[in-house]
Chains A and B, each alone.
Chain A
């Protein structure tokens, strides 16, 4: 595999690369303590000096040197910021120790073809760094919420006790609050009652509509399609206000059925789009062959067509479910207080009472979402394996 032989690089180069990262992290440390520019310069200079010294004097003693850097960072972190500083020191110490020697030993070259130019190498790693930073940028807001949900206080605040990992700073009281309060339990129960039924309706109607609209002989196909997809394009607040007045006239406003129908209408476009996409690859001669062998259209649909478009139906259903489960605008209009769903309750909670119970709920929901997506993915792989579509 390793076509390229690792060639050690100069201490200046390794320290320089590390200093770029040092400057970047220094910005954050600097901003937190007053001056971004000072942080940038300080980070760069500090990391450069450290990296240069390590490589210049201890190039061959990589393992002890990396431990040394780690200890230095942890001690420094503790001196400046106490116990929370230790954690930051651990992270940064490990990272910079690894980075300096990764560059200095030339190992970074081994994964690439020997003929790649410096510019290609630079781009190779810049690309990975940027991708990694985007990932961190996307995921940090979700991760930050999780420790806060174990806060012992009633505010969205990292208390000094939490930062010093004092057990007294943590508690499960917001989870208890969620499981013991009738408001939250009622909201959870409403969501659980509404979302699956809305999903079933959306999947049923959406799949039928997609199949019908994929028949070439249907007149005004494009216009009908556009109308059916419009709930996705029209601003939600407009659909919501329209539904409110329409449902009020026919007595559906403030009823369970009304909310289910409204959510089904929002979910249908997702099902239509995903099912239409899978139908593009569907060979219509299969249905004709089935008909030729005496199967009626219903049998044909369930035995031939349905299994083939199932992935589209399932992912459409998943989107419809999440739409209903996450939806707050329409339910605020169409529902009454008796149909208070989980997002509604969270919305109220954020507006009227900023309580970490919301964060506890968010953490639970994130865990459920991960579990749900993992299950679907595992099921998909299993069915592919069973059908011999995947080599493994």
Chain B
């Protein structure tokens, strides 16, 4: 009796809530993302259908995700929240959540269940790395190489460890100008077992070992900071191989016809998704929640994979991944999660990095400057 009453009252409240929200939802939304092909895929898969269903809503894009944490801090301090929904990497979601800059989300309440009724929390599963985080995609940092610059009589590179092999594969390399991924690869390719990488990296000797390995290719390495750089360097023939986000390489290879091959081994998985800034006014929050419910359902996440080769974060979306929107090719073989590409993979340990990032950043910068 009591339980039913509570339930009834609860659902009545929820109904009232949603009806009220429909009336006073803000009609403008500022969505923060990464720009480029990735933002375009979000526009096509989420925003355009949403705007078609809700005429009168306007969306402003801000391509500031790379400075999301700093800017959210500044907005919080200035008491002037101008962003409504922010696309960040998992590590940044953890940071903003810990600092109270992002709002906690009750997934089962705020998101759509899978078509078969699986709750969102189970559907996203391990991807839910932070209480504030609503995942969208799985992407990977992996390697691309110039197919026409492979030395004669040598097998083309297959993965991360080939970047350290200057004898077989001479030429310039490009690596991301940050410790994440590079330190792990250095240890892994120096013989440290996969399970031990983070334990070793926690010790000073481990850090030394990683830097020593990186030292062996330092004078042949170009350090990139913008994700558009490695495809540009590869297209230019300036480097032989380099680490890059797999979607960027996909677009250079398939959409731009560049002579680039993929070396998937030990690709580094990472998750990207939404966080909502803390402290939004009621009407704007209502609009964001409405959009989020729509944009993270099973079909929408699968649709995004038509435009870019990033894997949807929901388990229920994977079977719905179809063909490229313009080229009509199957997208599944280009996904980082495809079994052929995912023989050896590395899952970024966000929580470890959340604790050690500042320290290793400083050491890495000092090492770079040597």
Contacts and interface: CB of A to CB of B under 8 A. Distances in A.
A156 B235 CA distance: 9
A248 interface: yes
Contacts of B290: none
A248 B228 contact: no
Interface string B219-232: 00000001111011
B35 A253 contact: no
A350 B78 CA distance: 29
Nearest to B77: A245
B229 A354 contact: yes
Most chain-B CB neighbours within 10 Å: which of A153, A155, A156, A245?
A155
B37 A244 contact: no
Interface stretch (B57-65, B92-100, B106-114, B205-213): B57-65
A353 B35 contact: yes
A33 to B, nearest CB: 14
Interface string B77-104: 1111010000000000000000000000
B231 A248 contact: no
B259 to A, nearest CB: 12
B88 to A, nearest CB: 15
Contact of A348 (B35, B37, B229, B236): B35
Interface residues of A, number: 23
A387 interface: no
A337 to B, nearest CB: 4
Interface in A244-267: 244-245, 248-249, 253-254
B284 to A, nearest CB: 13
A352 B60 CA distance: 17
A82 interface: no
Contacts, number: 71
A351 interface: yes
B36 interface: yes
A154 B253 CA distance: 12
A10 B80 CA distance: 79
Contact of A157 (B63, B64, B236): B236
Contacts of B232: 155-157, 354
Contacts of B64: 337
Contacts of A338: 30, 60
Contacts of B39: 352
Contacts of B82: 253-254, 336-337
Most chain-B CB neighbours within 10 Å: which of A157, A244, A245, A351?
A351
Contact of B235 (A157, A183, A253, A349): A157
Interface in A224-249: 244-245, 248-249
Interface residues of B, number: 29
Nearest to B39: A352
Give the dominant DSSP class at B's interface.
mixed
B61 A253 contact: no
B74 interface: yes
Nearest to B78: A248
B6 interface: no
B35 A352 contact: yes
Contacts of A353: 35-37, 228
B32 to A, nearest CB: 8
B199 to A, nearest CB: 35
Given A350-B226, A353-B37, A156 B79 contact: no
Nearest to A352: B35
A336 B81 CA distance: 11
Interface string A338-362: 1010000000111111100000000
Given A244-B74, A253-B82, A254-B80, A351 B61 contact: no
Interface in A170-207: 183
A378 B60 CA distance: 42
A155 to B, nearest CB: 4
Contacts of A154: 256
Question: Closest 9 interchain pairs by CB?
Answer: A352-B35, A248-B78, A337-B62, A353-B36, A155-B235, A248-B80, A354-B228, A348-B63, A352-B36
20 contacts: A155-B235, A156-B232, A157-B232, A157-B236, A245-B77, A248-B78, A254-B82, A336-B82, A337-B30, A337-B62, A348-B35, A349-B35, A351-B63, A351-B66, A352-B34, A352-B227, A352-B228, A353-B36, A354-B229, A354-B232
Interface of A: 153-157, 183, 244-245, 248-249, 253-254, 336-338, 340, 348-354
Given A155-B232, A337-B60, 10 more contacts: A153-B235, A155-B236, A155-B256, A244-B74, A245-B78, A253-B80, A337-B30, A337-B61, A340-B62, A348-B35
